[in-house]
Amino acid sequence: MKMKGARVLVECLKEQGVDTIFGYPGGTVLNIYDELYDEKALKHILTVHEQGATHAADGYARATGKVGVVLVTSGPGASNTVTGIATAFRDSIPLVIMTGQVSRHLIGKDSFQEINITEITKGITKDNFLVMEPESLPDIVREAFRIARSGRPGPVLIDIPKDVQQFDMEYTPISIEDNTNSPESNPYSDDDIEKALKYINESKCPVIYAGGGVISSGSHAELKTLAERINAPVSCSLMGLGSFPGDHPLFMGMEGMHGSFCSNYAFSHGDLIIGLGTRFNDRVTCKTDEFAPRAKIIDINIDPEEFDKNINPDLSLCGDLKSILERLLKGVKPKEYSTWNKNVENWKNNLDCESPYNGSLSPEYLLKKLKELTDGKAIICTEVGQNQMWTARYYSFNEPRTFISSGGLGTMGFGLGAAIGSAIGRPDKQVINIAGDGSFKMNMQELATISKYQIPLIQIVLNNSSLGMVKQWQKLFFNNRISETDVTPDVEFTTLAAAFGIFSMKLTRNEDVEEVLSKALSMKKPVLIECIIHEDNMATPMVPLGSGLSNCKHVG
The enclosing domain of 475 has a CATH number of: 3.40.50.970
Q: At 360, which amino acid appears?
A: S
Helix (H, G, I), strand (E, B) or coil at 549: helix
Q: Is residue 296 part of a domain?
A: yes
The confidence band for 111, taking pLDDT boundaries of 50, 70 and 90, is: very high
Count of H-run helices and E-run strands, the chain: 23, 20
Q: Is residue 24 part of a domain?
A: yes
| Candidates 39, 113, 506, 553; catalytic one | 113
* Better-predicted residue by pLDDT, 357 or 303: 303
Which tens digits make up the pLDDT trace of 387-407?
Answer: 999 999 999 999 999 999 999
Examine the residue annotation and report whether 538 is marked as an active-site residue of this protein. no
Confidence (pLDDT) at 187: 81
Between CA 6 and CA 342 the distance in angstroms is 63
Q: What is the average pLDDT across 353-364?
A: 71
In a shared domain, residues 345 and 467: no
Q: At 415, which amino acid appears?
A: G
Q: Is residue 118 part of a domain?
A: yes
Residue 294 is part of which domain span? Answer: 190-351
In a shared domain, residues 383 and 313: no
Q: Is residue 182 part of a domain?
A: no
The string of DSSP codes covering 146-207 is HHHHSSS--EEEEEEEHHHHH-EEE---------TT--S-----HHHHHHHHHHHHH-SSEE
Between CA 405 and CA 389 the distance in angstroms is 10
**Chosen domain end from 328, 351, 374:** 351
The confidence band for 553, taking pLDDT boundaries of 50, 70 and 90, is: confident
Helix (H, G, I), strand (E, B) or coil at 108: coil
CA 546 to mean position of chain CA atoms = 26
Cis peptide before 541 (omega within 30 of 0): yes
Which tens digits make up the pLDDT trace of 461-493?
Answer: 999 999 999 999 999 899 999 999 998 777 899
Parallel, antiparallel or unpaired: strands 503-507 and 458-463: unpaired
Q: Which of 160, 386, 84, 356 is nearest to 257 (CA)?
A: 386
| Candidates 35, 50, 222, 530; catalytic one | 50
DSSP code, position 373: H
Between CA 97 and CA 517 the distance in angstroms is 36
Q: Is residue 378 part of a domain?
A: yes
Q: What is the average pLDDT across 451-457?
A: 98
In a shared domain, residues 480 and 371: yes
**Chosen domain end from 170, 204, 228:** 170
The confidence band for 104, taking pLDDT boundaries of 50, 70 and 90, is: very high
Helix (H, G, I), strand (E, B) or coil at 314: coil
Q: Is residue 424 part of a domain?
A: yes
Examine the residue annotation and report whether 475 is marked as an active-site residue of this protein. no
**Chosen domain end from 136, 170, 204:** 170
In a shared domain, residues 158 and 254: no
| Candidates 14, 112, 132, 342; catalytic one | 112
In a shared domain, residues 27 and 76: yes
In a shared domain, residues 320 and 222: yes
Q: Is residue 472 part of a domain?
A: yes
CA 380 to mean position of chain CA atoms = 11
| Candidates 254, 257, 469, 542; catalytic one | 469
Which tens digits make up the pLDDT trace of 69-101?
Answer: 999 999 999 999 999 999 999 999 999 999 999
Between CA 541 and CA 259 the distance in angstroms is 7
Examine the residue annotation and report whether 113 is marked as an active-site residue of this protein. yes
| Helical packing angle, 190-202 and 321-329, nearest 10° | 60
Would you call 38 exposed, middle or buried from its count of C-beta atoms within 10 A (0-12, 13-18, 19+)? exposed
| Candidates 126, 162, 429, 441; catalytic one | 162
In a shared domain, residues 477 and 412: yes
The string of DSSP codes covering 251-296 is EEEE-STT--HHHHHHHHH-SEEEEES----HHHHSSGGGSSTT-E
In a shared domain, residues 489 and 383: yes
Q: What is the average pLDDT across 145-150?
A: 96
Q: What is the average pLDDT across 334-352?
A: 92
In a shared domain, residues 419 and 526: yes
Q: Is residue 181 part of a domain?
A: no
CATH number at 281 reads 3.40.50.1220
Q: What is the average pLDDT across 276-282?
A: 92
In a shared domain, residues 250 and 277: yes
Between CA 124 and CA 86 the distance in angstroms is 5
- Least confident window among 41-45, 129-133, 202-206, 282-286: 282-286
In a shared domain, residues 164 and 282: no
In a shared domain, residues 346 and 463: no
CB atoms within 10 A of CB 543: 22
Q: What total of structural domains would you count in the chain?
A: 3
